[in-house]
Amino acid sequence: DAGITQSPRYKITETGRQVTLMCHQTWSHSYMFWYRQDLGHGLRLIYYSAAADITDKGEVSDGYVVSRSKTENFPLTLESATRSQTSVYFCATYPGQGAENQPQHFGDGTRLSIL
């Protein structure tokens, strides 16, 4: 039971490059989320998706792009990476309607360094 798989676990890239972080889930949960974790800020929402082909911005969406063509995948793309996007990125899922008062479940994260 893999649950949520994030890849890669670690990535180093240069400013201006495009980089895509992958998130795959095996639970068929409707909702998927992307967060970034930075010292002094806790977890901040970047983007979320309520279902395939439905996405919405979170608190810190500038500089990021998402897509959700299939329920199980929710890739996050940095189109032109900047040093301020160095962070640990977490993907999470949530079952959806009918599952109120259920927690989100998180992947193990991707540590991204932009030089």
Partner 1 sequence: DQQVKQNSPSLSVQEGRISILNCDYTNSMFDYFLWYKKYPAEGPTFLISISSIKDKNEDGRFTVFLNKSAKHLSLHIVPSQPGDSAVYFCAASNNYGGSQGNLIFGKGTKLSVKP
DSSP string, 56-103: EE-TT-TTEEE--SSTTB--EEESS--GGG-EEEEEEEE--TT-TT--
Task: Provide, rounded to whole angstroms, the least separation between the CB of residue 94 and partner 1.
Answer: 4
Site residues for partner 1, 9-38, by CB under 8 A, read 31, 33, 35
Asked if residue 69 binds partner 1 (CB under 8 A), the reply is no
Residues that bind partner 1 (CB under 8 A): 4, 31, 33, 35, 40-45, 48, 90, 92, 94, 96-97, 100-101, 103-109
